[in-house]
Chain A
Amino acid sequence: MTRSTRKNADMAETPLLEARKLRVEFTTRGRVVHAVSDVDMDLAPGEVLAIVGESGSGKSQMLLAMLGLTAQNARVTGSVRFEGKELVGAPESLLNQVRGNRIGFVFQDPMTSLNPYLSIGLQLTEPLRVHKNMGKAAATAQAVEMLKAVHMSEPEQRMHQFPHQLSGGMRQRVAIAMALMCSPKILIADEPTTALDVTVQAQVLSLLREIRERFGTAVILVTHDLGVVAELADRVNVMYAGRNVEKGTAEDIFYRCRHPYTEALQRSVPQLSQDRLVRLVAIEGNPPDPSALPPGCAYAPRCFYRLENCDQSVPPLEPVSGAHAKACIYEGKLKYQGETPA
């Protein structure tokens, strides 16, 4: 198998986070579930990288594996380097210095990621007291500042409240504030707006945009919503059945995509601007079972452009041009490219 591309020659700085051949496997009842297979990933300082895929595509497992947070029965191989340090197989003591300190995490459901028994203030100051050995008064002052930065009204009073007293949008702001307390280099946001209403989602998106500008934090945004991707991302990695099937700049992915799955994903998203009563283009069938992946390309059984050789071997991720790469042997033109969704 060809080694994936070392691209981004224009990216002068060394990547902040670099994953090579990352693999996550679970053994359950004698079967091996391939959650993530041979994924390479680079994140430059200050950029927003979106990881797009459906449930079960391995996007969350990949991030959990990077921080040593996978379940006990997971086997993680490959390499993840952050600021020059190897994280795969690293001792807990090193991981604990990174997690919540250098890399902040925001989860999908703020109600389950906040502790219902502890006040907002206690949860916000905890990272500072643990990682920075900060005193209570200083930590509290900084937490209030951070609540202001995420546009919470009445920040001083909020410190004494509990998660159940806040609405979903406010809880997500608190979760974001908590992830930012130690001024991390990277903010990993796993479906941060999926549980929120559209109007509140727009608030959180604009908040993430602001944070990136104000603090220069790099963001890894995991989502299945292409609208959210278009709003924020500089670069996009598309995942399917545990593999990275296409990667490129947001423009590459939205205007010049070369993988049939990326194309199908775009065409199945309902758009406000489309004509009414036009049939959505559905992707037939279901994503494959990760413990019984089809031979060759995992997307082939659902693919509109399938060729005879598609089930022969797994197509490697190969460069299209510049940073744009795809894992597909079909070289022809995709039918709907060049057609703007509008």
Chain B
Amino acid sequence: MSSPILSVRDLRVHFTLHDDGWLSKSKTLRAVDGVSFDLNPGETLGVVGESGCGKSTLARAILGLVPVTSGEVRYAGVNLATLNPEQFHEQRRHLQIIFQDPLASLDPRMTVGQIIGEPLRAFFSRMSADERQSKVLAIMQHVGLLPEQINRYPHEFSGGQAQRIGIARALILHPDVVVCDEPVSALDVSIKAQIVNLLGDLQSKFGLSLLFIAHDLASVRHISHRVLVLYLGKIMELAPADEIYGAPRHPYTQSLIQAVPVADPQRARAHPAKALSGEPPSPISPPSGCVFRTRCPYAVERCAVEVPELRQVGKSMVACHLAEELVP
């Protein structure tokens, strides 16, 4: 297997919160807490977790959009933290991002052509306007936008069309890695499928590696080769998609799957979506030991004492003391 295009090692992003009281101690919020994974060329890695689990912070940290507390992000073997600002800027063209809310991520006062062409201005300042326009038109065609839409403004587009603009902007520099931060969560059902299919097509066309973030397992099902399950800033399970969906090993992965309602009334009546009790604890004061233990139906004493390491079990990487016993 070829070497990974992106490798993340023991990444931590901690935020210090200052309380109002001047005598109170400042607290640390561990948004991402020791995350390691590789992304291979041409691969899609799904990243799944509930709100507040650190998935967006992880995306931003990889792109250098939030300060990293410790750990490494290597792109094509180069540790991005060791680069000076110019070198980092140069590497950043290979790493792009698509945001969740398509309309909020587009400047309302810029035309579609200006929005999509902006990365070209940032990286190739001497490129002629004509050349830039022809590149913009070419990428617009790839994402399914019409050439006559180049002078329109974002507000004239529906959510799905606006997301196509965001995708065109991310792809115009022909990046290797695209981080998709919940790109379809805000879209309507019928449009979601269009965008997921488009991303799959573009991936095979341009050989992209995708980090595809979502808050539920169903939406990454169709695009992911492997899936990473995050909870409170830590990896619970990292496994090939068939394992995650067919034989989930971590109790949290299992409950995420059981919580998805099935679009089949007879099956839903027989086995209603199973709720996980409680809600995720605060990342400011995470539970001792395994962070999932407070909601885990299988928790034993050991879980409160010892932090489970992420380890190989079968084809999966699982962070659970009981992984062998909980046969899926």
Q: Is the CB of B264 within 8 A of A270?
A: no
A280 touches B190 (CB 8 A): no
CB distance from B241 to the nearest CB of A (A): 5
**Contact indicator A286/B191 (Cβ below 8 Å):** yes
Select from chain B the residue with minimum beta-carbon distance to A342: B264
What 0/1 readout, one digit per residue, does chain A (184-206) give for beta carbons within 8 Å of chain B?
00000000000001111111011
Contact with B along A206-250 (1 / 0, CB 8 A): 100100000000000000111111110100000000000000001
Residues of chain B lying within 8 A (CB to CB) of residue A64? none
Q: How far is the CA of A198 from the CA of B258 in the complex (A)?
A: 9
Counting CB contacts under 8 A, is B294 at the interface? Answer: no
Chain A residues within 8 Å of B224, by CB = 276
Whether A274 sits at the interface, judged by CB under 8 Å, is yes
Q: Which residues of B contact A227 (CB under 8 A)?
A: 260-263, 268, 273
Is the beta-carbon distance between A231 and B257 smaller than 8 angstroms? Answer: no
Interface of B is mostly: helix
Render B244-277 as a binary contact track against A, CB cut-off 8 A, 1 for contact. Answer: 0100000000011111111111111000111111
Determine how close the nearest CB of chain A comes to the CB of B187; give it in whole angstroms.
Answer: 9
* Chain A residue at minimal CB-CB distance from B218: A270
| Residue numbers in B under 8 Å from A228 (CB-CB) | 261
What's the least CB distance linking B282 to chain A, in Å? 10
Chain A residues near B217: list those with CB within 8 A. 198, 272
A204 CB to closest chain B CB (Å) equals 8
Is the C-beta of A323 less than 8 angstroms from some C-beta in chain B? no
Does A341 make an interface contact (CB < 8 A)? yes
Taking a contact as CB atoms under 8 Å apart, the answer to whether B190 and A268 are in contact is yes
Size class of A's contact patch?
35 or more
Contact check: which of A167, A206, A231, A265 meets B279 at CB < 8 Å? A167
| Residues of chain A with a CB closer than 8 A to B276's CB | 199, 202-203
B197 in contact with A283 (CB, 8 Å): no
Known: A269-B189, A286-B161. A254 touches B263 (CB 8 A): yes
A186, chain B: closest CB distance, angstroms: 22
A254 contacts across to B, CB distance below 8 A? 263-265
A205 touches B215 (CB 8 A): no
Q: Does A251 contact B (CB under 8 A)?
A: yes
**B193, A271: Cβ atoms closer than 8 Å:** no
- Encoded as 1 (CB less than 8 Å from any B CB) or 0, chain A from 256 to 274 comes to 0000000011101111111
Knowing A199-B259, A202-B275 are in contact, say whether A274-B221 is a contact too (CB < 8 A): yes
- B293 CB, min distance to chain A CBs, angstroms: 15
Decide: A276 and B241 in contact? CB cutoff 8 A: yes
Give Cα A54 to B51, complex, Å: 24
Query: Which B171-214 residues have C-beta < 8 A from chain A?
Result: 188-194, 196-197, 200
CA–CA, A209 and B268, complex, Å = 12
**B160: interface (CB < 8 Å):** yes
CA distance A233 to B266 in the complex (A): 11
B50 within 8 Å of A by Cβ?
A: yes
Kindly list chain B residues whose C-beta atoms are within 8 Å of the C-beta of A269.
Answer: 189, 263
Confirm or deny: A11 has a beta carbon within 8 angstroms of a beta carbon on chain B: no
A281 at the interface (CB under 8 A from B): yes
Q: Determine if B222 is an interface residue (Cβ-Cβ < 8 Å).
A: yes
> Is B189 a contact of A224 with CB atoms below 8 Å?
yes
Contact among A54, A55, A230, A279 for B263, CB-based, below 8 A: A230
Cα A286 to Cα B50 with chains together (Å): 29
Kindly identify which residue among A198, A251, A271, A278 contacts B265, using a CB–CB cutoff of 8 Å. A251
* Interface positions of B from 284 to 314, Cβ below 8 Å from A: none
* Residue pair A282, B221 in contact (C-beta under 8 Å): no
Q: Are B259 and A230 in contact (CB under 8 A)?
A: no
B188–A276 touching, CB < 8 Å: no
Tell me if B242 is interfacial: C-beta within 8 Å of chain A.
yes
**Chain B 27-55 near chain A by CB (<8 Å), digits 1 or 0:** 00000000000000000000000110000
The answer, yes or no, to whether A169 is at the interface (CB within 8 Å) is yes
- Can you identify 27 A-B contacts, CB atoms within 8 angstroms? A199-B255, A199-B256, A199-B275, A200-B50, A202-B259, A202-B274, A224-B188, A226-B263, A230-B261, A230-B262, A266-B263, A270-B192, A270-B196, A272-B217, A272-B218, A272-B262, A276-B242, A276-B245, A279-B200, A280-B197, A281-B193, A282-B191, A282-B194, A283-B190, A286-B158, A340-B264, A341-B263
Give me the interface of B with A, judged by CB distance under 8 Å: 50-51, 158, 160-161, 188-194, 196-197, 200, 215-219, 221-224, 241-242, 245, 255-268, 272-277, 279
